Each structure stands twice: as C-alpha cells, then as structure tokens.
Amino acid sequence: MKDVLKDDEHVVGLDIGGTKMMAVVYNGKWQDLGRCKKKSKFSKEEPAEARIIRVVSEAIEAAGNVPIKGIGVGSPGPLDPVSGIVIDTPNLGWKNFPLAKILSDRFKVPVIVDNDVNVGTYGEWCFGVLKDCAHVVGIFPGTGIGGGIIIDKKLLHGFSGAAGEVGHMTIQEDGPFCGCGKRGCLEALASRIAIAKEVAALAARGDAPYVAANCGTDLRNIRSNVLAQAIKAGDTLVEEVVRKAAYYVGIAVGNLINILSPEAVVLGGGLVEAMESLYLEEVKRAVKVHAMPFLRKGVRIEAARLGDDAVVRGAARMIAEHLSVKKK
Ligand SMILES: [Zn+2]
C-alpha cells in the first residue's frame, strides 16, 4: 500500500451508523491511537451536531490530543460526496444535513464524506485480504443491504453520486414491498429483517422451536447470532430461510459479476459474520448458476475481515489519500 501520510501525521476516521457512531485516530503507519464509540442517540440537550463533535473530540483526546490533518466520514446516504451534505436518512431523521461543514468548521481541517457502505468496501479493500485487486464489489447484508463498487482502484459514484445501491436491485418483479417503495428488491427478499419476518412466522406456528423458546416472535430480537444458534440447534426451516436469502444475494452477485467483471467480491455484515461458511456456500452456488462462466472464472468470493473497523479505517484512508493528492 502506497504511503499517503508521514508516520507522525494523523487523521480521523468516523463511522456514523443508525445505532452507533465511532471515531478512531490513526497515524501514518495506520496504528489506532485512540477511539471513541457512542450510541447514535440525539436529544434536545445534545443534538446530532454536538454529539458527532463530541465523539471526534474524545477520540482525539484518547489519542493524546495529537494534531489532526483531516477527517474522513462514512454516513448512511443518500448523500452528496462533493458537498458532504447528507440528503435524507430516515434512520437518523436528517434532511440536507451539512455533515462535512459542521466538522470542518469545528476542527478546521478538510473533511470528506461518503456513503458508509462505500467506505466500508474501501476499508476492506485497502486493509483486508483484497489489497492486490483493482476491481472489487462489496455487499453488506444486515438490517438493509448496502453495496460498494471499486473499479480501476476507484470507488464508483455514478451520475447521481449514489451508485452501488445493490440492495435495490430488482430480483423478483412482483415480490414483497421494500423500504424504498418498490417491490421485489434484493433487500426486501434477503435482509435480516426479511429473514426475521419469515422466521417469526415459523416460530409463531411452532416450526422454529429454538427461536420460539429463546427470543419469541419480535422481529427486533431475531438477530443474526440468534439465527446462527437456531440453525446449530437444529431449526431446519430457519436454515432453509437463511440459505434462500443468501442465495438471493448470490443472484445479485452473479448479476454484478456479469456486468462489472470484478476480481473479487467481499461480503460482510452481521449475517455473514454469524454464519460465514453457510452463507458463502449459498452465494457461491448462486454465482455458479447466474454468472457467465468466462466472467466468473477466478473471481474470489471472500468474507470481510475488519468487522466494525471497516468504515473507520476506510474513511481515514480516504481522507489521507485526498490530502496526499492535494499536496502534489
Ligand atoms: Zn428497494
């Protein structure tokens, strides 16, 4: 990996998620010098602006108040990476939120903002097992399904700035409704919520005994680790539901391989972390059926390796590269 910072220069990576926020200070050797993590809970006493600033300030404090050169941010979108304005995030309740300006006004350094899944894909690419690849697709199935696309070592933003919405690829024309208003999106068929809905129905009628006994039928409780435990405990219909969802993701991966011809596809997020081998097995099975043989030959399908640190690392790396280009 090319050096973009001197060893004694520092940048901050910030991950703003629907449930938690995390900031980490890195030096030029990409060592983690200090971090701060808080819930994404905003109130009248501490609105979003103040809380985000506090997370970054406390991470810098934890790093011994080193001077920082810039801040990279991964945020839920849609957002405009050029202006750093978050356009609309239903989870956080933001509309036209000037995230980059808030941070650059307070910390007096350059700030760049990009979609969290783009940034996570970038992190996995720079620091994970795919460093040697020039073309990478990232897919992160969780509560929703996000994607990031790197072509010729660059993140693809497209005309709108929001390219890579893999979760809203139509898989089944007359399928279930999606949060975006369309029917049959990958997310509506294969997200953790889609799986939980089906599993809750199984539990309610006695066909998923482990789930019924351990977490009931509330969708919010049927999380990835519960699904993994239920499968281990022998809830065979739960396994079938999870495998089918993973297969749907594999259909999307097959389509993306046909269109983009990536060298590698990286899959992350809670479902993959909890059930890596079962999940990847189904994805690979679908890819064999749905990607063209010539295009799928030699394509690596890998599980993400950085877990919760993918976004902060990717964001820090992105601002460091941005600063190094500006220097030249
Ligand atoms: Zn959708």
Which residues does 309 contact at the CB level (< 8 Å), separation at least 6? Answer: 24, 123
Model pLDDT for residues 9-44, shown as the tens digit of each residue: 999 999 998 889 999 999 999 999 999 999 988 888
Q: How far is the CA of 260 from the centre of ligand 1 (A)?
A: 21
- Per-residue pLDDT, 160: 87
- Per-residue pLDDT, 197: 96
Instruction: Tell whether pTM > 0.85.
Output: yes
Q: How far is the CA of 179 from the centre of ligand 1 (A)?
A: 6
- Per-residue pLDDT, 328: 63
Give the Cα-Cα-Cα angle 55, 56, 62 (nearest 5 degrees). Answer: 90
Q: How far is the CA of 324 from the centre of ligand 1 (A)?
A: 37
Model pLDDT for residues 208-257, shown as the tens digit of each residue: 999 999 989 999 899 999 999 999 999 999 999 999 999 999 999 999 99
Q: How many CB atoms lie within 10 A of CB 102?
A: 17
Q: How far is the CA of 159 from the centre of ligand 1 (A)?
A: 19
Q: How far is the CA of 160 from the centre of ligand 1 (A)?
A: 17
How is the chain split into domains, by residue range? 10-115+308-327, 129-304
Spatial CA neighbour of 306 closest among 137, 63, 125: 125
Tokens of 310: 């993918």
Q: How far is the CA of 182 from the centre of ligand 1 (A)?
A: 5
Q: Are strands 20-27 and 94-97 parallel, antiparallel or unpaired?
A: unpaired
Q: How far is the CA of 167 from the centre of ligand 1 (A)?
A: 6
Mean pLDDT of 112-123: 95
Give the Cα-Cα-Cα angle 231, 236, 239 (nearest 5 degrees). Answer: 55
DSSP letters along 110-157, please? -EEEEEHHHHHHHHHHHHSS-TT-S-EEEEEESSSEEEEEEETTEE--
Q: Is the pLDDT of residue 60 over 70?
A: yes
Instruction: Report the distance separating Cα 309 and Cα 148, nearest Å.
Output: 16
CATH topology of domain 129-304: Nucleotidyltransferase; domain 5 (3.30.420)
Q: How far is the CA of 233 from the centre of ligand 1 (A)?
A: 33
Q: How far is the CA of 180 from the centre of ligand 1 (A)?
A: 4
Mean pLDDT of 185-199: 96
Distances (CA, A) of 18 to 52, 94, 242: 13, 11, 24
Q: How far is the CA of 174 from the centre of ligand 1 (A)?
A: 12
Q: How many CB atoms lie within 10 A of CB 136?
A: 26
- Per-residue pLDDT, 88: 83
Instruction: Name the amino acid, one letter, at 52.
Output: I
Instruction: Report the distance separating Cα 129 and Cα 202, nearest Å.
Output: 38
Tokens of 101: 């300006």
Confirm whether 10-115+308-327 and 129-304 share one CATH topology. yes
Q: How far is the CA of 108 from the centre of ligand 1 (A)?
A: 38
Classify 10-115+308-327 by CATH class: alpha beta
- Per-residue pLDDT, 42: 87
Q: How far is the CA of 6 from the centre of ligand 1 (A)?
A: 43
Q: How far is the CA of 57 from the centre of ligand 1 (A)?
A: 36
Q: How far is the CA of 116 from the centre of ligand 1 (A)?
A: 17
- Per-residue pLDDT, 124: 95
